[in-house]
Amino acid sequence: MEEKIIDLKQIVSEKIGKPVKIVYCKPIYKNGEFQYIDIRAEVIKGCDIIENTITISKLSDFENLPKTLSQTVNYVISKTTKEDRKIVNEFINADEFANSLRLTTIPWFRNNLELWDNKNPLYIFLKNKYKITHPDDMTHLIFVHVFNKLKKKK
């Protein structure tokens, strides 16, 4: 097996287009085989953190993907840490919260939930119930509901 050395900070920074600080990194194994790396990063400007990302586990590793908005919101919340859930306090409203994640968490979540596939049960549910067809709009809606649910818990 060829061993590769990779610069996670550079890869994540390039992916979201901003400098980041890696604050958590854990290799994930399934049945003894490496699957992926779970990373939590903070977007930085100089020495100041200007944006947080929420880290959730890779959804495609789970057999029972959420099929409704409610299931998805509960799933996202169940995969966040207490620290992640405190992020909602930094925002005035749900749209501001979801917009802050548009370049980081939302694209990652959209892709790992496979919302580009119009045969996906969650895609079909959101299209039929909310009349939205673009995966970015779907994930924005999901995180608006995540914000609202977390705010209600306070």
Cα dihedral 12, 18, 23, 24, rounded to 10, equals -20
- Three-state SS at 38: strand
Q: What is the mean pLDDT of the chain?
A: 75
Q: Give the DSSP H/E element, type plus range, for residue 97.
A: helix 94-100
Given a cut of 50, is residue 1 above it in pLDDT?
Answer: no
* Span 40-99, pLDDT tens digits: 766 665 444 444 444 444 444 334 678 899 999 998 888 777 877 788 888 888 998 888
Q: What pTM, to 2 d.p., does this model score?
A: 0.60
Contacts of 12 (CB under 8 A, 6+ apart): 20, 22, 39, 41
Angstrom distance (rounded) from CA 30 to CA 38: 13
Q: And the tokens for 62?
A: 């789970």
Confidence class for position 125, pLDDT limits 50, 70, 90? very high
Specify the pLDDT at position 70: 95
